[in-house]
Structure 1
Amino acid sequence: MQQRLVIIGAGFAGMYAALSAARLRDSQDVSPDRLEIALMAPEPTLVVRPRLYEPGPEQLTAPLQPVLDAIGVTFVPGTANAVRPGARLIDYRSPDGAERQLGYDRLVLATGSRLFRPDIPGLAAFGFSVDSLGDAVALDRHLQGLAQRPASKARDTVVVAGGGFTGIEVATEMPARLRAVLGRDARPHVVIVQRGPAIAPDMGAAARPHIEQALRELQVETELDVGVAALDERGVVLSDGRRIDSLTVIWAAGMRAAPLTATIPAERDDLGRLIVDRALRVPGVAGVFATGDAAKVPCDEIGNHALMSCQHATRMGAFAGNNAAADLLGAPGQPYHQETYVTCLDLGEAGAIFTRGWDRKVELLGAEAKQLKHEINTVWIYPPRAERMAALASADPQRVTDL
């Protein structure tokens, strides 16, 4: 009798879950007739989300169908609306709008995350983001359209709400993007608004001075200990009552797990992630695994947990796919671990910064770090080539994203 492993989500975690499950199936000499591996997503496309702060976002996708075909994974086009673990069914909407169900024997939830948008007046109507491909395309078109607007300080000003990784990468890219649109003589005014007392709060004391120096070099201003209270078509009002006139306000302040996790009757953290064990299994929910931004799991023995990042999602996905398939095939699973942690933060024309370890030890700066960032963004995070053995070899859980 054929069994079915379904993976929901075609991001980094979902892609590597499919690759790793197929790798284990192949190593066990099991045919697709005995174990079907199915990947469900709206389209068989990887959106290269870590690059959406760059210009030309329409180009920042990679096809997955050739890779899935090469490794014998079925693609199911659709958007999952709910999971019913008791019946082992997924309720989903197909591209033609029909409501359908798909059964599973094991499920890997790899639905990722989305930007947290609080109920701030004007945010939905006037705020931009780089959270999804559609959002990034809308921002890019808006920026291109600024050249047709009358010159003004509001036109030349970009406000970025959020001083974390995404906010910094967006803000440091903006001076060059605005000059490309408005001309080399333009004087872009970029402001990061950060509720906390420090920029890049997760980067630590060693890295922060280099980031602050890059911001000064790029003339990117920071407003600390203040938030955005309201937006309108001409700018923002800050929580202390001050106003910044701007035609471009970009929201980059926090992530939450995708809503599908809420249909799983299990414990979640304050980011909406399902709390899983080291096998990426959801305790108390038979047959369900979660991975990537949908899951909270320890990645070592000293108290660190996987972050909502491509780096963690790829390796978590590989473990989740392997373990879900192992569960069906009677093979031993592998407990997830990821002791190595690095950060490579793009700083626009000021280069980049590369750190290693949870204490963020700075290893590379400037042009050297920028070269590594370019390699990561254009090679490492893309799907493997659509050749069966090479694709399967890329998904060894113990080797994925080793740096």
Structure 2
Amino acid sequence: MRLVIIGAGFAGMYAALSAARLRDIQGVSPEELEIALVAPQPTLVVRPRLYEPKPETLTAPLLDIFNAIDVVYVQGSAEAIDTKARTVQIVTARDARKTLPYDRLVVATGSRLFRPNVPGLAEHGFSVDSLEDAVALDRHLHGLARQPASAARDTVVVAGGGFTGIEAATEMPARLRDILGKDAKPRVVIVDRGAAIAHDMSADARPVIEDAMRKLGVEGRFGAGVAEISKSGVTLSSGEHIEAATVVWSAGLRAAPLTQQVPAERDSFGRLLVDRELRVPSVAGVFATGDAARAACDDVGNYALMSCQHATRMGAFAGNNAAAELLGVPTRPYHQKVYVTCLDLGEAGALFTRGWERKVELVGDVAKKTKREINTVWIYPPRAERAAALAAADPERVVDL
């Protein structure tokens, strides 16, 4: 029997760990149930931190963990899924193609930044969506120091006032001063079509973000979108032109394109609709997890967000359940009632909220300490030791901050 997992992000990693855990509990050998994970590199990109400086350091190796738990790593990119033949077509680093049959499949292909057809976005826009994008932005920012001082050089426009946009924008003044000199006067502008910043946040959380923006000098342009990006700056739908040498696009995510090859229903973000066990109901043998799946977290109408917080736990359930079907043991319905938000606000600290209503619990330096712990400890892989790695993937394990 073979269980194939596509993707080495948070969901894919925990799916592999959890499937190996159940196999171990059931006393089944790796020869009887092979767990294979397909990804271009055996590396976890710590995507929630890519708004920070030195993004090239924000990865974690996975091969030693996979070896410790007897997970087979298959290097390559999944190019096609044939759900009738139960095969995955893989393209290797040398452009060779091979077919990998499966008995159960976990689609953990993650998400991609939504890039609409805005004139100039492809040519002049940056992002912190992927490691490559974040590295390109960091190189560009360092390159600004070689340019003469000007309004455009010292200005960064961040398109999108969601969590990623806020973290990128509030980190930017300090990043620019580090690069351009402590006497530099960087200008950072967040542009969003919504009426206010962070429209998903609660009424008591939003003022914390607005206060941080004031302290940092981060401006907001709300009720307007980006109409055009050029080398000289950004033109908004309101007609305003902002001179800026740097535009960071952070306006929304969509499920990775490979999910479209699974013949099933999707939501407006391209995520596959799954049942409580994270199966794709209309396609036998296929599970979806993380940003590739639209999954209910509870019985009162809350659905998993496209975040590592949900991806890690969803991955653990998906891997467990896919293995459980092959081993003939009961599956477990995914549930995730604990939900927190910890938003980095640069030199203004951070904001920590709890619950779907996002009740404010911590702000400022106290919240920043929690954010650092999350970013440097909690979201990293477990150590490459069999017992510790498998224990970390218990689907019922809840880390309550």
When normalised by structure 2's length, the TM-score is 0.99
Question: Which of residues 176, 200, 207 is equivalent to 1:202?
Answer: 200
SS in 1 for 2:148: coil
d(CA) in 1 for partners of 2:189 and 2:11?
33
1:84 maps to: 82
1:164 is displaced (CA, Å) by 0.3
**Deviation readout 1:129-148 (Å, 9 max, x if unpaired):** 00000000000000001000
SS in 1 for 2:150: coil
Question: Which of residues 306, 309, 321 is equivalent to 2:307?
Answer: 309
Question: Which of residues 345, 354, 357 is equivalent to 1:356?
Answer: 354
d(CA) in 1 for partners of 2:326 and 2:182?
60
* Aligned 8 A contact 1:311 1:401 in 2: no
Tell me which moved more, 54-63 or 96-105.
96-105
d(CA) in 1 for partners of 2:37 and 2:200?
33
d(CA) in 2 for partners of 1:139 and 1:31?
46
Paired residues for 1:344-383 under 5 Å = 344-383=342-381
- Over 3 Å counting, the alpha-carbon distance change for 1:131 and 1:82 in structure 2 is same
1:268 is displaced (CA, Å) by 0.1
d(CA) in 2 for partners of 1:282 and 1:206?
38
Question: Which of residues 241, 258, 261 is equivalent to 2:259?
Answer: 261
1:75 maps to: 73
Paired residues for 1:143-292 under 5 Å = 143-292=141-290
d(CA) in 2 for partners of 1:402 and 1:8?
28
Question: Which of residues 124, 127, 131 is equivalent to 2:125?
Answer: 127
1:401 is displaced (CA, Å) by 3.9
d(CA) in 2 for partners of 1:80 and 1:233?
36
Q: For residue 148 of structure 1, what is the amino acid of its counterpart?
A: R
**Deviation readout 1:259-306 (Å, 9 max, x if unpaired):** 000000000000000000000000110100000000001101110000
d(CA) in 2 for partners of 1:279 and 1:82?
24
SS in 2 for 1:271: coil
1:91 is displaced (CA, Å) by 1.2
Runs of 4+ in structure 1 over 6 Å off: none
Paired residues for 1:97-112 under 5 Å = 97-112=95-110
| Matching of residue 298 in structure 1 with residue 300 in structure 2 | no
Among all aligned residue pairs of Structure 1 and Structure 2, give the percentage whose two residues are the same amino acid. Answer: 71
Please, which runs of 5 or more residues in structure 1 have no aligned partner? none
1:395 maps to: 393
When normalised by structure 1's length, the TM-score is 0.99
**Deviation readout 1:240-262 (Å, 9 max, x if unpaired):** 11100000000000000000000
* Aligned 8 A contact 1:226 1:238 in 2: yes
SS in 2 for 1:345: strand
RMSD: 0.6
* Aligned 8 A contact 1:192 1:220 in 2: yes
1:6 maps to: 4
2:22 maps to: 24
Q: Give aligned pairs, total.
A: 401
Please, which runs of 5 or more residues in structure 2 have no aligned partner? none
Question: Which of residues 323, 333, 355 is equivalent to 1:325?
Answer: 323
Q: For residue 312 of structure 2, what is the amino acid of its counterpart?
A: T
* Aligned 8 A contact 1:7 1:107 in 2: yes
* Aligned 8 A contact 1:318 1:400 in 2: no
1:400 is displaced (CA, Å) by 4.5
d(CA) in 1 for partners of 2:289 and 2:400?
18
d(CA) in 2 for partners of 1:148 and 1:109?
44
Q: For residue 392 of structure 2, what is the amino acid of its counterpart?
A: S
**Deviation readout 1:317-370 (Å, 9 max, x if unpaired):** 000000000000001000000011000000000000000001110000000100
1:385 maps to: 383
